[in-house]
């Protein structure tokens, strides 16, 4: 709460996170500092009454003169009172940068978007496109800084971050369209976007985690001749198997389009299990050709390690090149600093090896 009537909210529109001041009595909503920070995304680190700390972040840390990346103190009752509190050291490194564009896509009269991140000036260009669907699925990619895509750009990769149907920032109708259609609409959206961007690249690969891993496994199974390698983190492989052991069984029911009540979970039945299996990438296991790197957090309760381990076992039995890295002390996001660095290094080494990159 800002005061007795106004709420401060973080919301999403297009490819940005924005701050909204909403009057709970009138319903009036105001987009705070709209346009002040250009393409950057905003978040709130802390707030007491009308005073708050803002985090302003952009995919390219070397911003224009008018767009600064860092932490700002602000008075929500006076927009002009914003002051710089801390600036990222990356802003002072002109030789370390990347460049990005917002891409618009449309399929079956549904509009969605993506962010294309390319190597900056002075970086090598490996002519390799990494298709990178997000997890959730009801989340989104924003223009906020990401260490993974930034690092990949410095190494010479181009990354396509796709906000497919069901993502935030595309409206409620888009969100409501995906449950019951996962493994279909989202997969086709991502692949359609990849095909639009792929011309001019020598290689197209895919990486993603959680639902992004679910989509990655779908993509290499449904389009086995298009994607030349994959790096997958803690993926959903078989929803019908995961539902009984995940800490979010409701996710499996909801996204498969099966009725579910948190107060009275349904008795397992053939129709519900069949619906989950029908939407899972395990269906396409026999079509996978490309080399797969699997990254697993042993303490993952959201998507149990058995999902990825089973996938690797099935792929190896079919002669598909695989490598498995298990992190005993990490969980679903693999976000601890040493694990994040190690996993990203092995993603690079995997692609470099199987694409014969110099």
Residues classed as catalytic: 210, 300, 332
Cα 300 from chain centroid (whole Å):
18
User: Residue 168: which of 135, 214, 212 has the closest Cα?
Assistant: 135
Helix (H, G, I), strand (E, B) or coil at 132: strand
- 196: its two tokens: 């639009």
User: Residue 19: which of 88, 82, 110 has the closest Cα?
Assistant: 82
Residues 151, 98 contacting (CB under 8 angstroms): no
- Using the CB atoms, write b or e for 65-99: b if 16+ within 10 Å: eeebbbbbebebeeeeebeeeeebebbeeeebbbe
User: Residue 7: which of 29, 17, 19, 22 has the closest Cα?
Assistant: 22
d(CA 279, CA 283): 8
Residue 134 phi, psi dihedral angles, 5° rounding: -85, 165
What is the DSSP annotation of 92-123? Answer: G-TTS-EEEEEEEEEETTEEEEEEEEEE-TT-
Helix (H, G, I), strand (E, B) or coil at 143: coil
Burial class (CB in 10 A: 0-12, 13-18, 19+), 163: buried
């Amino acid at each position: 709460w800002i005061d007795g009537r106004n709420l401060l909210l973080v919301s999403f529109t297009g490819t940005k996170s924005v701050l909204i001041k909403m009057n709970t009595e009138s319903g009036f909503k105001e987009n705070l500092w709209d346009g002040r920070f250009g393409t950057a995304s905003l978040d709130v680190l802390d707030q007491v009454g009308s005073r708050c700390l803002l985090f302003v972040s952009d995919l390219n840390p070397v911003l224009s003169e008018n767009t600064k990346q860092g932490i700002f103190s602000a008075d929500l009752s006076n927009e002009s009172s914003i002051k710089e509190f801390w600036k990222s050291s990356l802003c002072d490194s002109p030789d370390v940068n990347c460049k990005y564009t917002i891409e618009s896509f449309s399929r079956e009269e549904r509009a969605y978007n993506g962010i294309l991140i390319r190597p900056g000036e002075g970086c090598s260009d490996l002519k390799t496109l990494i298709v990178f669907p997000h997890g959730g699925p009801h989340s989104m990619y924003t223009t906020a800084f990401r260490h993974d895509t930034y690092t990949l750009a410095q190494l010479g990769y181009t990354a396509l971050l796709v906000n497919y149907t069901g993502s935030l920032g595309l409206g409620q109708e888009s969100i409501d369209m995906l449950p019951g259609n996962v493994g279909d609409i989202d997969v086709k959206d991502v692949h359609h976007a990849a095909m639009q961007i792929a011309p001019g690249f020598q290689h197209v690969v895919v990486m993603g985690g959680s639902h992004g891993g679910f989509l990655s496994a779908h993509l290499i199974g449904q389009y086995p001749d298009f994607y030349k390698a994959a790096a997958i983190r803690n993926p959903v492989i078989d929803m019908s198997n995961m539902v009984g052991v995940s800490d979010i069984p409701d996710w499996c029911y909801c996204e498969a389009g099966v009725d579910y009540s948190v107060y009275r979970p349904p008795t397992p039945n053939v129709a519900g299990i069949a619906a989950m299996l029908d939407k899972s990438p395990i269906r396409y296991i026999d079509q996978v050709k490309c080399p797969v790197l699997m990254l697993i957090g042993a303490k993952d309760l959201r998507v149990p390690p058995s999902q990825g381990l089973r996938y690797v076992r099935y792929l190896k039995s079919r002669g598909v090149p695989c490598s498995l890295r298990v992190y005993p002390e990490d969980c679903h996001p693999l976000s601890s600093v040493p694990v994040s660095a190690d996993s990203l290094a092995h993603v690079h080494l995997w692609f470099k090896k199987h694409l014969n990159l110099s």
